[in-house]
A and B are shown apart, each in its own frame.
Chain A
Amino acid sequence: MMGDYEAVVIGVSAGGFSALTELLPLIPANFPLAIAIVQHRNDDRDNYLCQHLDKHCQIPVSEASFNGQLSPGHIYLAPANYHLLIETDRLFSLSVEPAVHYSIPSIDVLFESAADAYAEKLIGIVLTGANDDGSLGLKKIRARGGLAIVEDPRSAEVCTMPQSAIEIAGADHILPLAEIAGFLTGMPHE
């Protein structure tokens, strides 16, 4: 049930621009969970991705900020060149530690900290991508009792990342991209 969860974390890499543009606008205005996303990307200091998604989504999209609090019904993107972490008190932390899986931000870093913070109240989603970032993080989410959703590798623009997630972490649901928003919003509210 939707009420069992507090937050959604999404990891996405190669092919992510299209995947997020397809998925996120389907999230309805009354969506009750906070959504935090790591999208691997090159330096994007103009924050184009954020502006683009904010324009097309029904709920607000902004860059996760230092000292910022996660609010329900809000989408947060990890800033380029910083790892994004979630603290137990639902605050974001940023870090410039070395890259993980050649990536900063890294999906594993977000997922592992979110699993610590939210335990079974967390939904982790791994989408299209060309490396194995996110697999260990998703494994930790499952170990803490959270729900794991992985994009069906057959529908993914690049299947490596979802495939790796399924092999290493397993998944509670393997869904084509087009069905993920429907699954999230279709969960009974009570």
Chain B
Amino acid sequence: MNGHDKEELELDLFISLVKRVYDYDFNEYRRASIKRRIKHLVVQNNLEHISELIPRVLYQEDFRQHLLQCVSVTVTEMFRDPWVFRTLRDEVMPALTILPKIHIWHAGCATGEEVYSMAIILKECGLLEHTTIHATDFNEASLDIARRGEYPLENIKQHTKNYIAAGGTSSFADYYSVNGKWAVLDSALKKNIAFYHHDLAVDPSFGKMNMIICRNVLIYFQKNLQERVFELFNSSLTTNSFLVLGDKESTEFSVLAKIFTNISSSSKIYRRT
């Protein structure tokens, strides 16, 4: 058996063990990226082989969190892909104004930057007061960061640039105060956001939404899991609601494709009929 075959076998063993012990099924994830992340974890722990992670799963108390942290690492920023937020502001917000109460589900919100971006847009459109944003992720450590709403000050320049490109109508500096090396977001933005744990791979729908945002999450899933998530979203959306995906994601491979109509040439914003 050559090195590559051994590595693949070790990965299979590790994935089955993680399923048995933690009940996370990484077989539902794209293999090439999950392998990359897990090999990264091996290096991070000064180990040589994936199989050396096996005792950690079995005997190391905090390894579950450590694993999730490594596997779900993403790069995000406030108003990431500002043109998407611009379209949300210009095209979607006017359609929401007629609703007495707005429910938005931000699925896979990671460390929360885009959740607060949405809250700022809602505020500037006069909609935040009667909106609830349900922001969920399967990684508790990310949710803790999201709940705090404190981000490294060094990133503020980029956030501000994005905010302006997204059509912000105020001054971005109005939304944070500085505490040492941290930009602390205005707590008024948090009032209408509920952060909680939800795993798209296993957890059910929890209410009817007027908009679901799930960006750059489906790219990591195998087609079966993508389909599960589309069904979950479909059953969680009201008629005439909105679905926002990452710029390189699409509903086109789903059996539900015809229910979703892309309303924007530049972004993956869909109307659910």
Chain A residues close to B by CB (< 8 Å): 45, 65-67, 79, 82-83, 85-88, 93-99, 104, 109, 112-113, 116-117, 119, 143-144
Shortest Cβ distance from A169 into chain B, in angstroms?
16
Shortest Cβ distance from A9 into chain B, in angstroms?
13
Residue of B nearest to A67 (CB): B253
Interface status of B27 (Cβ within 8 A of chain A): no
- The reply to whether A93 and B4 contact each other, CB–CB distance below 8 Å, is no
Interface status of B109 (Cβ within 8 A of chain A): no
Residue of A nearest to B249 (CB): A66
CA of A88 to CA of B35, assembled, Å: 12
Chain B residues close to A by CB (< 8 Å): 3-4, 30-33, 35-37, 73-76, 83, 216, 218-220, 223, 226, 246-250, 253, 266
- The reply to whether A66 and B4 contact each other, CB–CB distance below 8 Å, is no
Known contacts A93-B32, A93-B33, A113-B36, A119 near B75 by CB under 8 Å: no
Q: Which of A67, A86, A99 contacts B75 (CB 8 A)?
A: A99
Residue of A nearest to B215 (CB): A96
B residues in contact with A119, CB < 8 Å: 4
Residue of B nearest to A43 (CB): B81
CA of A94 to CA of B76, assembled, Å: 15
- Could you give 5 example pairs across A and B, Cβ below 8 Å? A45-B247, A67-B226, A79-B248, A97-B37, A116-B4
- The reply to whether B248 and A116 contact each other, CB–CB distance below 8 Å, is no
B residues in contact with A113, CB < 8 Å: 32, 35-36
17 new A-B contacts, CB < 8 A, other than A45-B83, A45-B266, A93-B220, are A65-B250, A66-B218, A66-B249, A66-B250, A85-B36, A87-B32, A93-B30, A93-B33, A94-B248, A96-B76, A96-B219, A97-B75, A98-B73, A99-B75, A104-B75, A116-B32, A119-B4
